[in-house]
Each structure stands twice: as C-alpha cells, then as structure tokens.
Chains A and B, each alone.
Chain A
Amino acid sequence: MARKPQDYKTDVHNNWCPGCGDFGILNAVQMALAELDLEPHRVAVFSGIGCSGKTPHYINTYGIHTLHGRVLPYATGAKLANPDLTVIAVGGDGDGLGIGAGHFVNAGRRNVDITYILHNNGVYGLTKGQASPTLKLGIQTKSLPQPNINQGINPLMIALAAGYTFIARSYAYDMKHLVSIIKQAIAHNGSAFIDVLQPCPTYNDINTREWYGGEDRKDPQTGKPLPRVYKLEKQGYDPLITPGMSDAEITAKLNKFIEKALEWGDRIPIGILLKNETVPSYEDRILQRIPFYREMPPAKQTIADELGRPAIDLTKFLEELKVT
C-alpha cells in the first residue's frame, strides 16, 4: 500500500507565520517522501536553527533539529555511519551560508549522498528579520534600520565551486516543481543541493510571493502578471554531465550553468542546473578503502561477542608493537 503525505505528518502544533514559504517546503518534502514510498523509519531529516529548523518536528520520520549552522556535519555523520538511511538536511540561508558556510563548502568536497534543502528567504527569520547572506546589497527589508551594507552571495555559484554534484533551484510555492526536484535530489547519488526561494511574508517585504509571481508587472495585453520565476526545463536546458564527456562539452555546460545562475531580477530560473555523474560519492570513495562498507557500515558492525568481549582481534596490531 503506497504511503500518503499524511503518513509523514506529526501532530505537533505548527507555529510558522501564516503564508510562510516554509509550509510549501514542508509539504513538498512530505509529498516527495510519499511518492518515493520511503519507510518513515529509514528516513532522517536533519535541520539547523531558524524558523526552517523546526521542519523535522512536523515530519514523521527520524527528525534531528541540530545547532545553528551545523546541520550538514550532523547529517553527514549519520549517513556515513548508516548509508542505508535516506538523509535530508534542511536549513535557513543564515544557517547554511552564514554561520555554517564552512560546512556548506566542505560538504561539497565530500559529496556524501545526502539532500540539502536551503530555505532561502533573504532574512534571519527567527531572530526577527536581519539581513541574511543572500540578501542583495542595498536592499532594505522590513526590519532593517538601513539598507543592506553587504553584497548578497549566490548559493548556486558557491555550490558549484564547492563541488556539489546536483545543484537545483526551486520555489516554495510551486509545489509540483519542488516535489519533483526533491525526488530527483534524493535519487541522486551524491550531495544534492536545492536552493529554495522561500518568501518570508513577515520580514522580507521585497522578495514576496507577489514579486516572484510578477504581480507588479502585468502584461499590458492580457493583464496577467509576468512571473519572474521561470523553468529551465522548459527552455531545453540540459544539466547532465556524464562520464565520457569531453572537456570542451563539460566546459560548455559549466558556462551555461554560470550564465543561468547569475540571472536574477526580472528573470529567475528554477530547475536542475547541474547533475554531474562523473564524481564518485564519498561512500563510493570509502568503498575503495573498505570493500565491505555497504554491507557492514559503522553502525552495523558487530563490536562485541556474545559474552560482551570486544569482537576485534587486535593480535596483528599488537604484534607490530611487540618488543619481546
């Protein structure tokens, strides 16, 4: 019997503000899990700190709400210890690109098979709307006393430079799109990063649902809004890098990636920007060193015999150190 999104819900009281983009992301995760029909106990959702950090409490799988900025190393540890788990990490833009930026970059180097969903709302929601690392220079959102003095960083470009092998962007209010991207991210073998544009109606009065939807710029002919967000897949954009591609082909792909990643303002692309199948996952690299890693990962080794004595045979190592 296939599972339904309902099966992934808890009865924990949700205390996000009405209309928060986080609801979209939460629902999309639950729908993706249901459509993939993943057994709840085989899934672990990790989060950082922030409004977004509360996500795991609303999902009926293992849910680990960690520290501000540290979601990726916690999630990585769990995945490496038990690679059978489906591990999803979620967190805010402050969480992942401010305090946790070092982990964000280094997780890319590792390419562990996890999915990382960034709730990109341009603000520090839970601390009442300060500028987040993605907020553009000169923008003054509601609770900023003065316009933002820093440049905004581009999560997609950092992800590329760091080595993420699956890089996508989606939009919190495009449920179908987001569900599909999350499913593909989970299916990807390696670190999958999804930058989700997440309106924060309470503190970000610039990048609102209306703004993304283009309500401010209606087509003079039809009178319909011209959405800023558009879908890459509809433009024939092909994110795939596969083994055997020539250097020139790969360079062309990356150039295209950069071109798209830099678009902002009137046209904001969403979709999969990169799916690189040429880089082995961290687990596959471990497998080169530990041939039985998949069958006997760290969490599943028998470490004691039936009497409780250490199961390891240290003879060989002690022999190396013997002097008499």
Chain B
Amino acid sequence: MHRKNELSWLVGGAQGSGVDSAANIFAKACAFGGLYVYGQREYYSNIMGEHSYYQVTVSDRPVRSTRSYTDILVSADTETVFLHARDVNPGGAIIYDPKLTETALSKVAALEHRARHDLQRYLSSKNLPETMGGMLQDAQARGVRLYPVPFDELLQKMTGEKAPQLSVAKRMANTMAVAASCALVRYDLKLIERALEDVFQGKKRVIELNLRACELAYEHILKNFAQDFPLVLEPLTVSEPRIYLTGNQATALGKLAAGCTVQTYYPISPATDESVYLEAHQLFERGSGEPGAIVVVQVEDEISAITMATGAALAGARAATSTSGPGFSLMVEALGWAGINEVPVVVTLYSRGSPSTGLPTRHEQGDLRFVLHAGHGEFPRIVIASGDLEECFYDEIRAFNYAEKYQVPVVHLLDKALASSSQTLTVFDPQRCRIDRGQLVSTAGEGYKRFVYTETGISPRSALGTPGGIFWNTGDEHDELGHITEDPVERVRMMEKRAKKLEVAAREIPLSEKLTIFGDPNAEVLLLSWGSPKGAILDALEVLHAEKHSVCFVQCRLLCPLPSDDLAQLLQKAKRRVCIENNYSGQFAGLVREATGIAMDHRIVKFNGRPITMNEVYESVKQILSGKAPRRMVLTHGA
C-alpha cells in the first residue's frame, strides 16, 4: 500500500487536552505544504474529559470528506486506541503511549457502556487481554504497525528553561504525537514549526516548548524505527492562494460580504462560533476607504434573536441570526410574523442531532421538513442549503439577496458537519458576487402603501425612518397600508399577493442556483442529495468514475421553492434513483416524491450523529450496482 500524498489521519484524546490544537497543527502543516486538507471535528457536549477526535484527510487533489478508515492513528491516551484502533488500515500505524498498554478496558472512564461491552466481547472473542495492549495486538495481527512514543521520558529530556510544568506537559503529548506522525510520513519538521507559530500565535514560550517537544518526538521515531512506512507526505509548490477555515467562519465571512450589519444570537452548538467570529471581526474597511462594522448582539433567547434581527431589518439593515434546531424551534412564531409582514430577515440554521436537545454536538439533517413548514399557517419563505464551505460563503450572500428581492424570511440551512469541518479552499472572491437589495426605496411619498398590490406581489419597501414611507405592520392580516383587516376579500388578495412572490422567485432564480448536476445525468445510477453529504458523494464519485462506473450526482440547493419540474425531468430519465441524506426517514426523498410523484429506488440514510464518509457512499453505490441493495440502506460508520 505505497501511497504518496494521500492520507487519512486521526487524533483523539480527552476534551480539553489539546486535541483540537494538535489536529490544527497537523492540518495547517499539511496545508502550508500545499496539500489539500479536510478536517472533521467530533466532540461531546462536555467541557473536559470526554473523548473527542479530529479526523484529517490529506491529498494532493482536492478532498471534501472523511474516510471510514484511518492510515495513522495518533493517540496519547487509551480511549483513542480503544475506540479507533479497529478502523486503522492494515499497513497503517498507531502512535501511542507505551506506559498505557496495561490499562484495562474497565479502567477507562470516558467510554460509553455500549462501546465498552462491544470491545469486551470483541477482545474476548479473539482471546486477547481486555487492555489497550490487547487492542494493539489485534491491530498488529491485522498488519498495523505500532509506534510507541514514551511521552514522559522524552519530556524529561527537556531541562532547565525548557522544562514544562506537568499540566502543560500533558497537553503537549498530543502535539508530540502529531510530530511523531509527521516523522512517519517523512514530512518536513519546518512545516510543523510554521504551524505551531500559526496555531499558538504570539505565545512565544508555548511555541518554543512545543517545538522542542516536537523535535524530540520526531527524532524518537527517526532513531528507533526504520524509515519504511509506506505512506509519504511531501510538500508541493502551489501558486494558487488558498485559505483554511471552518464552515462557521465561511458563513460568517459570507455575512460580512453580504453587507449584514446586525447579527443577533443566543449561544448554541454548533452555531455560536459563527457569531463569535463576527464579533471578533466586527470592524472592517470598505473598498471606498469608509469604515464598516457589524453589531453583534448576544440576546436573552432565540425569540429575542429573531425578533431583534427582524426589527433591524425593518430599519433597513441587512440583519441575521444564527442558531440550531432547539433555537429555531423557539423562532417559528416570529418567522411567521416576518412572513406576513414581508420582512427580509435571514436565519442561518445549523441542524444537529435531534429532536429536543438531541445530540447537541453531533451531526444530522433532521430539520428539513421542520424548516419547510415552521410556523403556523401559510406564508412564503425561501430555504437554501449549502453543500460545502465554499457554498456556505457564496450562498449566504444569495440568502440576503433573495430575502430583500422577494421580501421574505430566508433560512440558510446548514448543519454540524459544515459548521465544524475545516477545509483548504481557493480564496473567496467577493467581487464575483452582487448585492441586490430589491425594491428598497430611499424616499417615498404621497399615497405610499407598503403592501400595495402589484403584478409580482412584490411592493416597494421603505425602511423605518424613510421620509414619506410611513407604514404599519401587524401579525394580524392587514390591508395595503398594513392596518388590521378581517375582510374576506382583502384576505384572499393579501394571501395571493404573498404567495405570488414565491412563484416569481421560482421563475427568476437561475437553475444554477437551484441545483447542480455532477456527471452525466443519464448515468446508470443517479444520486440525489442536499447539504453536507455533497463532499462525501463527490469524493466517492471520483473513485467510481475512475473505476468506470456510470454514476451521476444531483445536488439540490434551493429547497423552497423546490425546483420540482427540473427535478422531475432529471429523475424521470434516471435509471436508478438513489437519495442520500443524514436523517432517519429520508425527508428529502419524501419531499421529492410529494412534489414530483417520483419515488426513489433506494434511500440511503444515516442518523447516528456522524457525517457520511466517502467510503460509505462508495460502498453503497457498489452494492446498488450489484443489484443486491435493499431499498432503505442505513449507514452506521463513526465512533
């Protein structure tokens, strides 16, 4: 299994022990070396102690998803070995702390009962000791190479000035493990040094300490093991400028580019980081030299979040809020208010494991049906779903344009997988985008009616404070001025006016913003999906195409109004239709059937709180091609 610049790497450890930093150091070191990186962050709803891990896929070609297997498992604790050793590929490696090999499974605190039982059964079925050592023996028997790194001993070599305190040393073990993994693949230590400087920006002593520790771990591998690990990473020279960022950051940048100047939020995973990023980047410059700023308000609850953003939108600011399922549940009454009053407010919704508090830090696409129907009664809304980090950025700008053009609330539906994954991407180019404020008027006058009936249903919109533009809003049904009415004729007209806007939107929004087709739509298998599975599907598609399989992928991005006719056309011609999504019931497949009358031949679903991997897509498609796949396929990979 000799491979260059193609690696699936995983680091794990207790939350609060520096796993994120370690992963960041590795990912950045790879990215600095011109390699493409995709990182998936998995963590518990906990601050300290529970097991978290970070899986990084590295390649010299763009990567967009995680693999089911691991080539190098990087650990400094026992949980990581227990939970992930079985995913390490034969020929791969496990880096571990030899002093922990005797640790018994029963002594490992942060394991779920189910996982402990499974491991017990597994080890005893193989007549292996119920210790970390047992896991390592098992891996070795499968052809995995073992690389013990005595972190404590190595750290003891650091004396005097450079000796860290015990608490610091503990955190440094993860960084050392990273360095050891780089030594395995013969990756340049200089790039780790650069990554350290980047991740621990400005903290000179921390950088020094970590660098020394990394050197020791790196030397330890070179000195004690043959340099024959079959996987190699080699820096590339690239001229293209790239960024490495998370989905939360990409979305926040999209908001800034869109001209969003008010963001409200109530803390909730996995949305919070977006607002925190915005507050940290509150001040900026405009191309004209003028200063600009976004006001970020942390409010008392999500009802306040959406209503305050709506108030700001009424005043003419581009305003948004950002939340997750539980928060959005609280927002629905106000969503309807924005609907009936035609206020352009944007809600960025990162769905996560549900219902209720669900799996607070885990992934799911379970909110689709809810978002499409949230709120009592009928009112127009636009719902878009991005499939990757680049779309998070560009779609956020579209979200505001749609909101203002059609004077509707817009939900930008994202999820945990997008929020906390990170990726190397071509630098965003805001200049490619256009800001369209629709019929926002700067002055109005005699006879102005905020909700005047028009051909398109869209009325000129004045912002609070506009001379001559006085209007009224109410959550009650209203007349053209915005005053309450219960007149049956007026009611019908107003309902039709609002509904018409969505028909216009459906007509005007270009097909390229509604859906994307990858590959030949007449292929043997048509994969249909929406949102974050896109990355795994595209990565799998590359492999399937290389193997000459006839598969195409249709990604739907506009979910409301759903491009039913376009979808129907594609699906009618398709030979085998397969819908892939991260929820239990196959919500999108159901929706499409409702809108087109076309049922899927297979529904691939996953709802264990973990994103779909490239291999899961690949294997499912192979199974479908073999004709042996059930109609409903449930994916389960992930620790």
Contacts and interface: CB of A to CB of B under 8 A. Distances in A.
Given A74-B308, A301-B292, A314 B253 contact: yes
A290 interface: yes
A60 B470 contact: yes
A19 interface: no
B257 interface: yes
Given A77-B311, A314-B430, A324-B240, A54 B261 contact: no
Given A63-B472, A77-B319, A312-B286, A85 B464 contact: yes
A141 interface: no
Nearest to A290: B293
Interface in A15-52: 40-42, 44, 46, 49
Contacts of B294: 298
A104 to B, nearest CB: 10
B307 A77 contact: yes
Nearest to B286: A311
B465 A82 contact: yes
Nearest to A63: B472
B293 A292 contact: yes
A66 B256 contact: no
Given A62-B464, A103-B304, A106-B304, A80 B435 contact: no
A161 interface: no
A312 B299 contact: no
A12 B483 contact: yes
A57 B314 contact: no
B467 interface: yes
Contact of B475 (A66, A73, A292): A66
Contact of A78 (B249, B288, B315, B337): B315
B243 A318 contact: yes
B162 interface: no
A249 interface: no
B287 interface: yes
A299 B261 contact: yes
A251 interface: no
Contacts of A49: 475
Interface string B202-246: 000000000000000000000000000000000000101111110
Interface stretch (A132-140, A218-226, A302-310): A302-310
B434 A290 contact: no
A266 interface: no
A102 interface: yes
B431 to A, nearest CB: 5
A42 B295 contact: no
Nearest to B430: A310
Contacts of B34: 324
A215 to B, nearest CB: 35
A283 to B, nearest CB: 10
Contacts of B262: 77, 80-81, 298
Chain A contact residues, majority secondary structure: mixed
Interface string A267-304: 00000000000000000001001101100111111111
Contacts of A12: 483
B166 to A, nearest CB: 33
A13 to B, nearest CB: 9
The size bracket of the interface on A is: 35 or more
A313 B424 contact: no
A314 B252 CA distance: 11
B469 to A, nearest CB: 7
A318 B257 CA distance: 12
Interface string A75-119: 111111110110000000000000000110110000000000000
A218 to B, nearest CB: 43
Contact of B319 (A298, A308, A313): A298
A312 B308 contact: no
Interface in B270-305: 281-288, 290-295, 297, 299-301, 303-305
A56 to B, nearest CB: 6
Given A286-B295, A299-B312, A61 B470 contact: yes
B428 A299 contact: no
Contacts of A234: none
A262 interface: no
A157 interface: no
Contact of A102 (B259, B300, B427): B300
A245 interface: no
Contacts of A76: 308, 311
B43 interface: no
Contacts of B473: 63-66
Interface string B496-529: 0000000000000000000000000000000000
Nearest to B194: A323
B182 interface: no
A197 to B, nearest CB: 26
Given A44-B464, A317-B284, A308 B436 contact: yes
B464 A313 contact: no
B333 interface: yes
B463 interface: yes
A324 B299 contact: no
Given A77-B264, A314-B430, A85 B472 contact: no
B242 A322 contact: yes
B309 interface: yes
B148 interface: no
B397 interface: yes
Contacts of A305: 287-288
B42 to A, nearest CB: 22
A41 B476 CA distance: 23
Nearest to A61: B470
Contacts of A286: 295
A102 B309 CA distance: 17
B240 A103 contact: no
B468 interface: yes
B188 to A, nearest CB: 15
Contact of A73 (B286, B307, B333, B397): B307
A67 B310 CA distance: 12
A303 B262 CA distance: 12
B171 interface: no
A321 interface: yes
Contacts of A292: 291, 293
Contacts of A65: 472-476, 484
Nearest to B472: A63
Interface in B447-505: 463-476, 482-484
A70 interface: yes
Contact of B241 (A44, A66, A70, A324): A324
Of B264, B301, B424, B464, most A-chain CB atoms within 10 Å: B464
B243 A322 contact: yes
Nearest to B34: A324
Given A40-B470, A81-B316, A304-B437, A299 B465 contact: yes
Given A81-B261, A311-B259, A312-B256, A56 B292 contact: no
B258 interface: yes
B334 interface: yes
23 contacts: A73-B308, A77-B311, A77-B313, A77-B319, A81-B313, A81-B316, A82-B465, A84-B465, A85-B465, A106-B299, A106-B304, A289-B293, A298-B293, A299-B315, A302-B286, A302-B290, A312-B292, A313-B287, A318-B428, A323-B242, A323-B244, A324-B31, A324-B32
Nearest first, the 6 closest Cβ-Cβ pairs linking A and B are A77-B311, A303-B259, A298-B261, A77-B308, A81-B315, A81-B312
Given A41-B466, A65-B474, 8 more contacts: A10-B483, A74-B314, A80-B312, A292-B293, A296-B292, A304-B259, A309-B430, A323-B424
